[in-house]
Amino acid sequence: MKFYYGWWIVVGAILCQFASMSVGQAVIGVFMKPVIDDLGWKVWEFTLGSSLAVGAGAISAMLAGKVVDSKGPRPLILIGAVVSGICLFLLSVQSNLVVFLILYSIAGLVGWNFFGPLVINATLSKWFISRRGWALSLGSIGISLAGLITPFLMTIVVDSFSWRAGYNALGISVVVLLIPIAFVMRRSPEDSGLEPDGNISINTDPQAIKSNQLEPNSLTMSEAIRTNSFWSLVFGFGLIMGALMSVLIHAIPFTVEAGFSRTTAAAALTVNGVGNLTGKFLWGYTLQKFDPRKLIFLAYSLCSIGVGLMLTTSNNLNITILFLAFFLYGFGFGGTIPLSQFLWAKYFGRAHIGSIMGVSHPMTTLSTALAPVLVGYGYDVYQTYFPAFIVIIFAYMLGSFIVLISKEPILTNSSKLTI
């Protein structure tokens, strides 16, 4: 049997999401203390940069989603890699808060958002149907590897040289890695005369396959936003993502504030990456057999337990408990991409998934942009992370419960939508 090109798309997805997570979120905690100590900023001022990047990415998401549906991911990845490289280099030479915030905003608007989960997973959903759970799980391994590798390596670079050298290293790495990958990525199997999952078509004309490839349960963007299902996922995943990013960004500062060294904090975040990576295989397997809504509730229950255990380490400085807490948090976190993207595609189909995800992105990421800043502000006010982390646990449980009770849209007409 001929090797299905969709698996090369999965490889590209791994590398793109590794890069996106590395520059966008995974290293924020690594840079935070060195930058604020050097430049005299406050915690909330520094975290405002990453939050503005998330907010800016939410604005460009609607355009990115439409481009993925019409042109594919290649032009977006090329633009994103070049812009990210330039912004990261400029971050390495700036010393002004306003400039810092502007550069992060630009990078989020037309930089790493263009090779991030929205673009990449919408593409994967087009290439796979019956194997979608596995494809999304494998593709999101890049995020796990970023959590596993990048904080540890960048802590060495920043502590051995400087935070400025760290930003330089990230900028060079993004450009070198992603520009070749962009030319591997394609919009959909139909464009290459293929069918989803590698099924063999008797018609070798790509245009004929494209016109005949029907998705009975696909909704357009305008149809999707009129369903209760759409808004349940928006609010549920919005709460979950805000909680996830808050812990990820403040993980190293929290661990240091609890009394551990920066090296131990970086190691704990690496353990988080191990849990994240390990979870991919369980979530990929179970997605083929169980209701994804129940799996989502399970995943973020594990995250909640992990955060609760983190709080206990402030009293006993028990490294074993600290590592267990980060492992559980990471294991649940590992289900974020495959579980959420699988559910979006299950509810609304693959034909217009880029546009649907694009219009949902600004709303689901609003809390992602605000929550880390509020956590940082809470720390500045109370001089402890305890109150904010209790709120994070509540957000996990409420968000996952909203998703759990959501229902798949029921189509009222029998018309089929083309890809």
Which one is predicted more confidently, 368 or 106? 106
Per-residue confidence (pLDDT) for residue 217, from 0 to 100: 66
DSSP state string for 81-120: HHHHHHHHHHHHH---HHHHHHHHHHHHHHTGGGGSHHHH
Per-residue confidence (pLDDT) for residue 47, from 0 to 100: 84
Closest CA to 20 of 59, 53, 60: 53
Q: Where are the domains of the chain?
A: 6-407
Q: How far apart are CA 206 and CA 201, in angstroms?
A: 10
Percent of the chain predicted with pLDDT > 70: 93
| pLDDT tens per residue, range 20-30 | 999 987 888 88
| pLDDT tens per residue, range 265-278 | 878 888 888 888 88
Strands 214-215, 417-418: pairing is: antiparallel
Count of CB atoms within 10 A of residue 243's CB? 29
Q: How far apart are CA 13 and CA 385, in angstroms?
A: 34
CA distances from 299 to 65, 186, 333, 394, 405 (A): 27, 31, 7, 14, 15
Domain 6-407 CATH superfamily: MFS general substrate transporter like domains (1.20.1250.20)
Q: Output the six-digit token pair for 256.
A: 């240091």
The answer, yes or no, to whether residue 116 has pLDDT greater than 80, is yes
Q: Output the six-digit token pair for 354.
A: 């880029």
Q: Output the six-digit token pair for 10.
A: 């999965």
Q: How far apart are CA 246 and CA 251, in angstroms?
A: 8
Per-residue confidence (pLDDT) for residue 1, from 0 to 100: 58
Query: Per DSSP, which regions of 104-222 are E strands?
Result: 214-215
Count of CB atoms within 10 A of residue 156's CB? 14
Q: Taking all residues of the chain, what is their mean pLDDT, rounded to a whole number? A: 86
Per-residue confidence (pLDDT) for residue 212, from 0 to 100: 39
| pLDDT tens per residue, range 7-66 | 999 999 999 999 999 998 788 888 988 999 999 998 888 988 988 898 888 888 888 988
Per-residue confidence (pLDDT) for residue 123, from 0 to 100: 93
Helix intervals (H) in 259-352: 262-286, 292-316, 319-333, 336-348
| pLDDT tens per residue, range 365-414 | 777 778 888 888 888 888 888 888 999 999 999 999 999 999 988 765 54
Percent of the chain predicted with pLDDT > 90: 44
Residue matched to tokens 């930003």: 167
Which one is predicted more confidently, 2 or 82? 82
The answer, yes or no, to whether residue 418 has pLDDT greater than 50, is no
Yes or no: say if 327 and 306 are a contact pair by the CB < 8 Å rule.
yes
Confidence class of residue 203 from pLDDT cuts 50, 70 and 90? very low
Terminal-residue alpha carbon distance, the chain:
26
Output the pTM of the full model. 0.76
CA distances from 210 to 8, 26, 193, 204 (A): 20, 39, 8, 11
Classified as helix, coil or strand, 287 is coil
Residue matched to tokens 């915690």: 43
Per-residue confidence (pLDDT) for residue 386, from 0 to 100: 87
Amino acid at 223: E
Q: How far apart are CA 372 and CA 203, in angstroms?
A: 51
Classified as helix, coil or strand, 236 is helix
Q: Output the six-digit token pair for 33.
A: 């203390």
Count of CB atoms within 10 A of residue 416's CB? 14
Per-residue confidence (pLDDT) for residue 167, from 0 to 100: 95
| pLDDT tens per residue, range 284-330 | 888 878 899 999 999 999 999 999 999 988 778 889 999 999 999 99
Yes or no: say if 114 and 80 are a contact pair by the CB < 8 Å rule.
yes
The answer, yes or no, to whether residue 417 has pLDDT greater than 60, is no
Per-residue confidence (pLDDT) for residue 250, from 0 to 100: 85
